[in-house]
Amino acid sequence: MRLPTSFYRRDATTVARALIGCVLVNGARAGIIVETEAYHGPEDLASHARFGRGDGTARTSVMFGPGGISYVYLCYGIHEMFNIVTGEAGDGQAVLIRAIAPHLGLPDDPAIGRGPGKVTTALAIDRRLDRKNLARGPLFVAPGPEPAPPITSGPRIGVAYAGAWAGRPFRFWWADHPSVSRGAAAPSASPAPSLAPSRTTVSTRRKR
DNA sequence: GCCTGGATTATC
DNA sequence: ATAATCCAGGCA
């Protein structure tokens, strides 16, 4: 059973949240989606859609098509990123799959799909699977088992350049799940920093 | 054409 | 902290 096209033809934020707990399948391999990010249309300064639809030649033109199609691109020259186009034709939206937990055909290691580059490596997804219809073919998403998992949201990762859009809570993850790429809830597990001896180097600068 | 900078990850 | 490594956008 796979999710129907209608599932994807909704707002990116709605789809990003709804995908948590679903099963991402590529052939004989599958993982449970535990972390996603919503990217909106041209108004979203963090989105690849921010430069407009680019008349057919642009890598991102697929984002302006109807929901339910894959969008796979190369980031930093090294990592393949897997996205699913959402909304209606013309919207320019997509959801990035940032982390999966191993399910079928994968080593039972919570780190195997922890991070967007790891997701594509684990499931053997690359740019040959760009622009594929998830309603048919070996690449698709199936509904997850009930009950729905606990979901938390927060700012997207690595988009500090996006001005006001950088801080919006468009990242969703399965609360406290070990395969989430960065500090899920970390409820009160914090600090108590006081007893630490003075550090000699002051490298407190945080880039992203 | 040339330059810049990423929706990252592993390692120095 | 930074190398690895490729492509799109911006400008000349």
Q: What does pLDDT average to in each consecutive run of 10 residues of chain A (208 residues)?
A: 97 98 98 98 96 76 97 97 98 98 97 98 98 98 93 96 95 97 46 38 43
A195/C5 CA-to-C1' distance in Å:
42
Distance A65 CA to C11 C1' (A): 30
Q: Which nucleotide is nearest to A94 (CA to C1')?
A: B7
- Stated in angstroms, how far is A174 CA from C12 C1'? 48
Position of tokens 């039972």?
Answer: A108
Question: What integer pLDDT is reported at residue A53 of this predicted model?
Answer: 82
Burial A145-182 (b: 16+ CB within 10 A, else e): eeeebebbbbbbbebeebeebeebebbbbbeebebbbe
Of A149, A142, A145, nearest to A4 by C-alpha is A142
User: For tokens 């996603």, what's the residue?
Assistant: A36
Q: How distant is the alpha carbon of residue A68 from its chain centre?
A: 15
The pLDDT of residue A174 is: 98
Closest nucleotide to residue A47 (Cα to C1')? B7
Q: Is the CB of A39 under 7 A from strand B?
A: yes
Residue A58, CA: closest nucleotide via C1'?
C8
| Nearest protein residue to the C1' atom of C6, measured from CA | A77
Write down the pLDDT at residue A187: 34
pLDDT value of residue A58: 75
Structure tokens at A81: 């990123």
Using the CA of A61, give the nucleotide whose C1' is nearest.
C8
Strand C: which of residues 30-49 in chain A lie with Cβ below 7 A? Answer: none
